[in-house]
Structure 1
Amino acid sequence: MFRSLFRSTALLPVLMLQACSLTPGMEMETNSPLSHIEVPTMKDGKLVKEKAPIIPITADLIIEKENLKQQASMNSLPTDSTPVTPYKIGPHDRLQITVWDHPELNDPGSEKIDPTLAGKTVQDDGTLYYPYVGNIPVAGKTVDEVRESLTQGLSRYFKKVKLDVRVLSFQSHRAAVVGQVKTPGVQSMNETPMTIAEAISRAGGVTEEADTANVTLARDGKLYKIDVMKLYEKGGMDQNLMLKDGDVLNIPDLRDNKVFIMGEVGRQQALQIGSGQRMTLAQAIAEAYGVDFNSSRPEEIYVIRTSEMKPEIFQLNGESPDSMILADQFTLQPHDTVFVGTAGVTQWSRVLNQILPSSFTSVMSRAAFMGM
């Protein structure tokens, strides 16, 4: 009986070693400049598979990141600023043309026209048809220029022509305001240049979930970051750009700005970054109730960043308490994942917990049954 029990007990280390070799641990490959697996990466405009670089968090790295951030903020706004010019007529605009002393031109056939249908619409090719004058190009011209063209055309048939031109409906120049505003949609531009602040106001203002510090402006195939919070709270008029035809202003959702804390921390969770606020690696670790030094590898604190399909992995060696100075100066970005590595003894303990119920417990139950 004892011999059988001894043989069963002696098999435990073998079973444990087998289980340990088969049980994957949540750890990254140490002493390597690259990630263990290949990940999708954007390179030269194409999506390829590469191993992500593992970059040590040092003072030099933090200085480099801050310098790049300041340079990006200086060059983040479009350089092609829109000058204040008179409104340029375009396709689908509706014009009201009034010729004095010639009611037959203003109301042909004495028909009463619905005000919503009044006026003449500029065609897709940018031309406008008018009696006696025919088709004339008006796209890209101001109201004054169209008035001059019509006056010259009608003067061949009438004496002392006096007429007036005004835009009834502005349809050719439009910008879209989407995201966290109360009434998102497309907005038409008129004689008054429309700024970012005016566009948001027309859209009913931002919602409570709006991240006004990270608004984006899509223009001519490029994306620009606009800090509307700076405009609202600090009067940063450099952010209040005039919109152009085809612009798309997107106010993002604040709830998407989260940092994920995983691994050997007091509490694994997702942390919300407030609008316009800054979260450092040290703050994130503190919010997660700190690093569990009994079960972790403090030298393996990772920040995994996958923004814009250019994944990077940053590593902080947290064995020394003064490394928290670097952690407090390393700024996290939305969607970053902070991972604290697991110590080898902790992985071994977890393997034991997996196999003990099935092996050791059954042996002890058998021994108890036999009267040990």
Structure 2
Amino acid sequence: MKNIAQTRLFTIAALLCAVALGGCAGGSSRIEMPDVSDQAGPAPAAPQTQLITEQLIAAEKLQREQRAHQALGHLVVADPPPYKIGPGDILSIVVWDHPELAGHGLVASSSSAEAGTTTTPPQGFVVDYEGKVQFPFAGALKLAGLTEEQARSLLTQRLARYIAQPNVTLRVQSYRSKRIYMDGEVRLPGLQAINDIPMTLLEALNRAGGLQPTADQSRIVLERAKKRYNLDLRDLVQKGVNPGAILLLNGDVVRVHSRDESKVFVSGEVVTPKALTMHNGRLSLNEALGESGGISPMTGDARQVFVVRKAAEGTRIFQLDARQKGALAMAEAFELHPKDLVYVAASPLANWHRGLSLLFPGALTQAVGVTTRP
């Protein structure tokens, strides 16, 4: 029986050598594959593979910093401007010593319908859609775009024609002209009215009840006028930028993403292929391989560790040769992006064994098992 198994093993090896080397002996044994290039058309060019080097890591870091700096340049406001009156706001106007100008009942009848409620609206003067307010003796005043102080000064000038030294108090009683929207992993998502307190990013998060435990602090997206800005709270603090200096404007939409949306997929010849959740937007290539059990010592090829990334300019592929000096340091410095795919290719010996198993299913295992029996 042992001689039969050895004979079978030698026969399999001879057949493999004949298939692999038959073309070199004269070409008669070569397996010809049908040419389907004319039928299917030319294959698309594969993305160019970039080797992970210290220069590449430095260039990637510089690009991230430049993108973050450009975003902050449009958003950070050191000295927020005062609130400006807008259409829909309700003003409280008092002219001292003239109670007949108190303005009771001058609220527009549609104010409650605009607010979407059936409660009695507060008494005051509503700024109409043209930004004007009707006031006795003063007529129609264009107050939209003015601060409270500017509006009070304008009304005082108009009333001075009919009242000697009018003493006017004007303030916004109900803020309804400017809003932002909070969404995602916050405790109280929804609309927030902008009032006399500057609506900064921190103010909006606090009004929304703070972040949920599942929130990703590195992926806070601000949408403004068809533009999207990605904000990283931890990165802002590390750079010395106060998130309270990021001023939100009317119509802004702030979405806090979940950590489950920021995953990295590790597959191929690793001990445990899995999907990994990033740690607040941070996960290095070394950490991804470590949490997956590392490269398989039996079948993995340490020279072929790939990172596949879908970018705006197309698919990008990075390769790391883990056998080189300093490879572990480069893997630790190479930061992954959400939805990256880390793939470890199989070694040539593993590919040879799998190819043999496809040609002769179970034959090699049976033959080796018989030869090793006592």
Coarse TM-score class (shorter-chain normalised): 0.7 to 0.9
1-side partners of 2:105 and 2:175: how far apart? 27
In structure 1, distance between residues paired with 2:249 and 2:219: 20
Number of the residue aligned with 2:56: 61
1:89 aligns to 2:85 (yes or no)? yes
Q: How does 1:311-326 map to 2 (within 5 A)?
A: 311-320=315-324, 322-326=326-330
2-structure distance, mates of 1:321, 1:146: 70
| 1:285 corresponding residue in structure 2 | 289
- What is the count of residue pairs matched by the alignment? 324
1:218 is the counterpart of 2:223? yes
Q: Deviations over 1:271-328 (max 9, x none)?
A: 121126x322222212211212432333221101114464211011234465333222
Aligned counterparts of 1:309 and 1:65: Cα–Cα separation in 2: 15
1:288 aligned partner, one-letter code: S
Aligned-partner SS, 1:311? strand
Alpha-carbon shift at residue 103 of structure 1 (Å): 3.3
The code of the aligned residue for 2:59 comes to E
Deviations 1:325-368 (A, max 9, x none): 322222222211111112344344334545655x969xx9xxxx
**CA deviation string 1:206-263 (max 9, x = no partner):** 000111133233344443343324677x794533223233333322211222111111
Q: Give the letter aligned to residue 289 of structure 2.
A: I
Instruction: After TM superposition, give the deviation of residue 270 of structure 1 in Å.
Output: 0.9
Check 1:57–1:37 CA distance in 2 against 1; reply closer, same or farther (3 A cut): farther
After superposition, residues 338-353 of structure 1 pair within 5 angstroms as: 338-353=342-357
- How big is each residue's C-alpha offset from its partner over 1:9-56, in whole Å with a ceiling of 9 and x where there is no partner? 99x969x97xxx99xxxxxxxxxxxxx975xxxxxxxxxxx7533111
Compared CA separation, residues 160 and 92, structure 1 to 2 (3 A): same
TM-score (norm 2): 0.73
Structure 2 residue runs of 5 or longer lacking an equivalent are: 1-7, 20-30, 33-41, 110-118, 368-374
Write out aligned runs for 1:246-325 (5 A).
246-275=251-280, 278-308=282-312, 310-320=314-324, 322-325=326-329
Q: State the secondary structure of the residue aligned to 2:87.
A: coil
Tell me the residue number matched to 1:186: 191
1:244 partnered with 2:249 = yes
| 1:103 equivalenced with 2:117 (yes/no) | no
Identity value in percent: 32
Deviation of 1:79 after TM superposition, in Å, equals 4.1
The DSSP-based 3-state class of the residue aligned with 2:60 is helix
Tell me, in whole angstroms, the C-alpha distance in 1 between the residues paired with 2:106 and 2:172.
Answer: 22
Task: Report the RMSD for the aligned CA atoms in angstroms.
Answer: 3.7
Name the SS for the 1:339 alignment partner: strand
8 Å Cα contact 2:200-2:248 kept in structure 1: yes
Q: 1:315 to 1:141 in 2, by over 3 A?
A: same
CA distance in 2, matches of 1:143, 1:128: 13
Kindly provide the amino acid, as one letter, of the partner of residue 170 in structure 2.
Answer: V
Q: Distance in 1 between matches of 2:291 and 2:43?
A: 29
> Structure 1 unaligned runs (5+)?
1-5, 23-35, 39-49, 365-372
CA contact (8 A) 2:300 2:345 kept: yes
Superposition TM-score, scaled by structure 1 size: 0.74
Match of 1:27? none
Q: Which residue of 1 aligns with 2:125?
A: 120
